[in-house]
Amino acid sequence: MRCQFCGYLDSRVIDSRPTEEGTSIRRRRECLRCGRRFTTYEKIETSPVMIIKKDMRREVFNPDKIKKGLLLSCQKRPIGVKEIDNIVEKVEKLVHSSGEEEFSSRRIGEAVMDELKLLDEVAYVRFASVYRQFTDVSSFMDELNALVLEGKSRQNADNDK
């Protein structure tokens, strides 16, 4: 593994452990030249899944695109990178465990929004505004009102217990 600091090709593994989801192995490494430490992840190589976009184009599934969208939605919110990585892992697991060779981008977007709604409502609305391509204030307000009603019904259900 090439050191990200000095480019040296040899390092030693200091610590190995599975990630929380159990889908990869996290390794702490130390460069044998400069002595700096860095983290790598080892994952099972899976066959590529094609994502069917809204306009029916197809492209290879790329979890980095999900992470990029989540990072933008969660900017200036109290959400850590670990929480974002957990959402990406859950969606990635959903896609690969489906066993399907093609998967719709709509299903991915809905899965991300389901996770965000539980994590942070502001980040959810930010993501939904881009994903659902709100064209005017009215459609944006409809989404906000639905979120408020859902929160009230959840609160009432909790009070009834």
pLDDT attached to residue 131: 82
Element (H, E) at 144: helix 137-160
pLDDT attached to residue 161: 66
Q: Is pLDDT above 80 for 21?
A: no
* Arithmetic mean of pLDDT over the chain: 90
The least confident of 9-13, 41-45, 105-109 is 41-45
Q: Is pLDDT above 80 for 153?
A: no
29-45 pLDDT per residue, tens: 999 999 999 999 998 77
Instruction: List all residues 6 or more positions away from 127 whose beta carbon is below 8 Å from its beta carbon.
Output: 69, 70, 73, 112, 113, 116
> What pTM, to 2 d.p., does this model score?
0.66
Distance from chain centroid for Cα 12: 30
Type of residue found at 126: R
